[in-house]
Amino acid sequence: MSNNNPINSSSQRPPSLQVNYPPPYKGGAGNGSSPLPHGRGRGWVFFLFLLPLLLLATATELYVRSLPNSYRIKRQMMERMEDSVETIILGNSHAYSGIRPELLPDCAVNLANVSQTLDVDLLLLEHYAPRCPRLRHVLLTLDNSNLFDLPMQQTDEWFRCGYYRRYMHLGPYYRPRYWLELFHFQSARGKMEKWLQQRHPDCTPLGWDTDNSLDQRNQEEWNTTQVERVLNRHTCSVWEQAFENQRILLRIADYCRDHRLQLTLIAPPVYPAYSQGIPPRQRDFIDQSRRLCIERTRARLLDFELDSAYLDDDFFDPDHLTHEGAAKFTLQLADSLSTSDSLAASDNNS
């Protein structure tokens, strides 16, 4: 028998009249709140996880940048003294730690720095020389340590390119890896540790290196195993680059000649075992480069490489001087410069 009661006929409704209700939401806090899309929820969790790390990294980057460093000090030095500078010192760490500008007779500043290559020396010269109306002398260390350098960008010290861009506002160093201190964490950590331990800037207000004191020297290795390591580091690996460095040297000499600046090439003292270990081909190339420079532009050469006046306590390592050695060398250099100037003046008057 059929059932004609409309109340009990819902199961027999036509499909077009049936309504499908969604299941009740069981997530959230049980209060009926709307769910977040699955991917967006994970994104917020990831962001909240990264936020403290980003804040820590930002604070560390700003802290490292705030520490005194030789690059910022040298830029500020030039901004302060450009109207009075008469002598600019260029070169790598041999000049940075070996020539004390306050002991030279003229108003001198030291623009040399660690691992500074000849192309950077040229960059500094072309940038600062036009700003120094009283500039007369350019001192450039040229020896086995910098004539065979690869471009800084291609070495383990590539991070220094960022220092020139960041703190001296110089150089074509725009690649992203030069943007942040923390992109070379080992260097950034070293800066922080050094500042926390010593609490003094990398250099004096005139740009001379404050490291390399005798009491910091490795007393056991400085004149034995270190000699071989340093010679290996200064061994020419790409001769095409050596010839390119020679061309850059001649560009420095040409610039000095064209702007009536007296260029003096300097060979600082080194430990005898280091000098004796320089490969003959490199020695010949150094001599040739100096000779080309002198013949082409009337540059001068002051060679102290094998000066017997320098004793063990004058050396920090096989090719760097201690504070006392740097004072001795700078005074000797000042006498030689004065003598050369006097001879040049006599020749001009005769």
Give dist(CA 82, CA 111) in Å, integer.
Answer: 12
According to DSSP, residue 135 is labeled -
pLDDT given for residue 223 in this prediction: 86
What is 93-127 written as a DSSP string?
HHHHHH--GGGSSS-EEE---TT--HHHHHHHHHH
pLDDT averaged over every residue in the chain:
89
pLDDT given for residue 325 in this prediction: 97
Q: Which pTM does this prediction carry?
A: 0.84
Instruction: With respect to residue 52, please indicate whether it lies within any of the assigned structural domains.
Output: no
Domain that holds residue 239: 84-157+206-342
Instruction: With respect to residue 252, please indicate whether it lies within any of the assigned structural domains.
Output: yes
pLDDT given for residue 1 in this prediction: 47
Mean pLDDT of 48-58: 87
- Burial group, residue 146, by CB count within 10 angstroms (0-12, 13-18, 19+): buried
User: Does 31 score more than 80 pLDDT?
Assistant: no
- What phi and psi values does residue 314 have, to the nearest 5 degrees? -85, -10
pLDDT band (50, 70, 90) for residue 44: confident
Mean pLDDT of 143-172: 94
User: Does 41 score more than 80 pLDDT?
Assistant: no
User: Does 48 score more than 90 pLDDT?
Assistant: no
Of 21 and 195, the structure prediction assigns the larger pLDDT to 195
Instruction: With respect to residue 336, please indicate whether it lies within any of the assigned structural domains.
Output: yes
pLDDT given for residue 49 in this prediction: 78
pLDDT given for residue 197 in this prediction: 84
Please tell me the total count of domains within the chain: 1
Instruction: With respect to residue 177, please indicate whether it lies within any of the assigned structural domains.
Output: no
- Burial group, residue 179, by CB count within 10 angstroms (0-12, 13-18, 19+): middle
User: Does 326 score more than 70 pLDDT?
Assistant: yes
Element (H, E) at 323: helix 323-349
Tens-place pLDDT, residues 241-278: 999 999 999 999 999 999 999 999 999 999 999 999 99
Compute the Cα dihedral for 54, 57, 59, 65 and give only its sign: negative
Q: What CATH number has the domain bearing residue 151?
A: 3.40.50.1110
User: Does 299 score more than 60 pLDDT?
Assistant: yes
Instruction: With respect to residue 97, please indicate whether it lies within any of the assigned structural domains.
Output: yes
According to DSSP, residue 67 is labeled S
User: Does 54 score more than 80 pLDDT?
Assistant: yes
pLDDT given for residue 10 in this prediction: 47
Instruction: With respect to residue 21, please indicate whether it lies within any of the assigned structural domains.
Output: no
Tens-place pLDDT, residues 166-213: 999 998 888 999 999 988 988 889 888 888 887 778 899 999 999 999
- Sequence length of the chain is 350
User: Does 16 score more than 50 pLDDT?
Assistant: yes
Share of residues in the chain with pLDDT > 70 (%): 87
pLDDT given for residue 190 in this prediction: 87
The residue written with tokens 């190339």 in the block is: 285
Give bridge partners of residue 203 from the DSSP assignment: 209
Give dist(CA 284, CA 93) in Å, integer.
Answer: 23
Tens-place pLDDT, residues 58-112: 999 999 999 989 999 999 999 999 999 999 999 999 999 999 999 999 999 999 9
